[in-house]
């Protein structure tokens, strides 16, 4: 049986122009107790302090996030973390926002950052 995809569109592109190369940086950080399900607001400001000046943050990917799935919302400039909903009382479902109470335990996270 064939699988089809509908409404596929290009959202952004980077790295095609030799004058605007795509950069990959790997950063380490710890989550603090004040992380909540709204995510890390103004994430690009924090990242720009660590990567070379003048770069525009495009996206992120997990390098070693201890099972967490990082999502960068470019429009809201927010980094959020999700994990699997695997509980004995609830049917397994899609990834859900990580709860505030347990996030401070996640230290030494390693995240890949795409910038241009």
pLDDT attached to residue 72: 93
Cα–Cα dist 79/74, whole Å: 9
Domain annotation covers residue 105: yes
- Domain count for the chain: 1
Domain annotation covers residue 76: yes
Q: What is the mean pLDDT of residues 84-93?
A: 67
Domain annotation covers residue 14: no
Domain annotation covers residue 8: no
Q: What is the pTM (predicted TM-score) of this model?
A: 0.77
Q: State the residue range of the domain holding 102.
A: 23-115
What is the pLDDT of the chain when averaged over all its residues?
Answer: 83
pLDDT-wise least confident of 10-24, 34-48, 52-66, 102-116: 10-24
Domain annotation covers residue 3: no
């Amino acid at each position: 049986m064939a699988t089809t995809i509908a409404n596929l569109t290009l959202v952004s592109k980077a790295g095609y122009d030799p004058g605007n190369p795509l950069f990959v940086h790997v950063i380490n950080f710890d989550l603090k107790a004040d992380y909540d399900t709204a995510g890390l607001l103004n994430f690009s400001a924090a990242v720009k302090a660590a990567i070379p000046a003048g770069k525009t943050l495009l996206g992120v990917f997990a390098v070693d996030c201890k099972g967490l799935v990082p999502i960068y919302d470019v429009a809201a400039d927010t980094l959020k973390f999700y994990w699997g909903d695997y509980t004995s009382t609830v049917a397994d479902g899609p990834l859900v926002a990580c709860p505030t109470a347990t996030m401070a335990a996640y230290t030494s996270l390693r995240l890949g950052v795409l910038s241009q």
